[in-house]
Amino acid sequence: MAPSHARNAETARPVLSPEQWRTLWRNKTSKILRRQGAGEDVVKRYDVVINRFLEGHACPPALIPPHAVTGFIESSSAGPEFDRDTLKRFLTFFYHHVAPSPALVEAIARFDGNSPTPAAADRTGILLERLSEELRVRNYSARTLKNYRMFVRGYLSWLGRLPEKSDEAGIKRYQIFLKEERRFSARTVNLATAALVFFYGKVLGFAPAVKSLPRMKTGRSLPAVYSEQDIGKILAATTNPKHRLALMLAYGCGLRLNEICQLKREHISLDRSTITIRQGKGKKDRTVMIDEVLQPALRSFLKNGAGAVWIFEGQEAGTRISPRTVSLVFDHACHKAGVKKLGGIHTLRHSFATHLLEQGTDLRYIQELLGHSSSKTTEIYTHVSNSAIAKIRSPLSKIDLQNTGRIG
């Protein structure tokens, strides 16, 4: 039987109820008010308003549509003791100090007592559905669809109006907002930009308006890599056969997290010692090897533990294991093994590629095993290969340190 921590891995991240969600933001508001010297009577009044304002909203406050914010002010839903000016002041404070959103602060400031028509929100929903349709017809992945919808929804909320052809300058301001106000990484900002370029070009037909949008410079970060000794400790610390095999496949075959979760029986060929990865990243198929060291564990699990369809099943029979569960398994294994975490489970894939390179495997084969479209992507591992670096002699080796100044 799996350990209790493994059984509960799926639900390890707490899910907040609507009441707990509101309490979280109310407490944050009260804390900031007290830090600024507000009296308890003021704190209590803010608490009432924020609690009633957040009722019915499951999304983060910064993503609540402008019409919902101004509609709350117009309807005086907080109670007769709060007039519109008070509500505007309270929500301006909230969106300036607690849940920063310059777009909503501006929408509140512009509000003159006539709430924007809900048709704007309806129109946003229609635009998001059109976005989904354009992504599906091009066979984009479910993950890309989810990310693009999230970024476009956030942008439309920030914009506070329907998009127009002349929005290029506004999108640039939004890029800066994401980087400086929301503290997003340059890579995440670039992903948001890609979503908006697609949205304006393919959904709205405003391609010329966004053709010159800049991308943020990201620099180059080297992948984190474990030593072979640390890999051994991580695997040894994982005693559950199902979880151990998942980690062995991540390192032994260089599989991505989603590829592990989506493995089916039909993808495994023990006779040929291969695994076929179907529709991996970029909708590409590829084949990876099953090392003879991995064969016994995989053969045993296929016989005694695997599901009828999915190799790794979730808590319910017939469902596949979730990426979150596999990530938690990896986190727990690192903790139990006493190995410092260098990142998520994807570091096992980085380690696979680096160790193959250090063993002398041709870079072209590594590219094929990883499923990289470009050799440039695979070449990053040449920069973290310890064996190659260790062979380089420093110019210091030419100096006779016993007789300074003489060439050895």
200 is catalytic: no
Distance CA 46, CA 225 (A): 49
Q: Which ranges in 160-237 belong to alpha helices (H)?
A: 168-176, 186-198, 207-210, 228-236
Listed in sequence order, the residues at least 6 apart from 250 whose beta carbon sits closer than 8 Å to its beta carbon are: 257, 260, 330, 345, 348, 349, 352
Which of 182, 281, 324, 336 does the annotation list as catalytic? 281
> C-alpha angle with apex 295: 291 to 299, nearest 5 degrees?
155
242 burial (CB, 10 Å; 0-12 / 13-18 / 19+) is: middle
335 is catalytic: no
Which candidate, 101, 46, 33, places its Cα nearest to that of 69? 101
372 is catalytic: yes
Which of 45, 153, 244, 256 does the annotation list as catalytic? 256
Which candidate, 7, 3, 106, 45, places its Cα nearest to that of 316? 7
96 is catalytic: no
HSE-CB for 194 with a 13 A CA cutoff: 12
Which of 95, 155, 174, 381 does the annotation list as catalytic? 381
Which candidate, 181, 159, 172, 167, places its Cα nearest to that of 103? 159
Beta carbons of 327 and 344 less than 8 angstroms apart = yes
Beta carbons of 189 and 216 less than 8 angstroms apart = yes
Which candidate, 326, 251, 233, 343, places its Cα nearest to that of 294? 251
Beta carbons of 25 and 33 less than 8 angstroms apart = no
Beta carbons of 150 and 128 less than 8 angstroms apart = no
97 is catalytic: no
381 is catalytic: yes
> C-alpha angle with apex 224: 222 to 230, nearest 5 degrees?
155
Q: Which residues are catalytic?
A: 256, 281, 346, 349, 372, 381
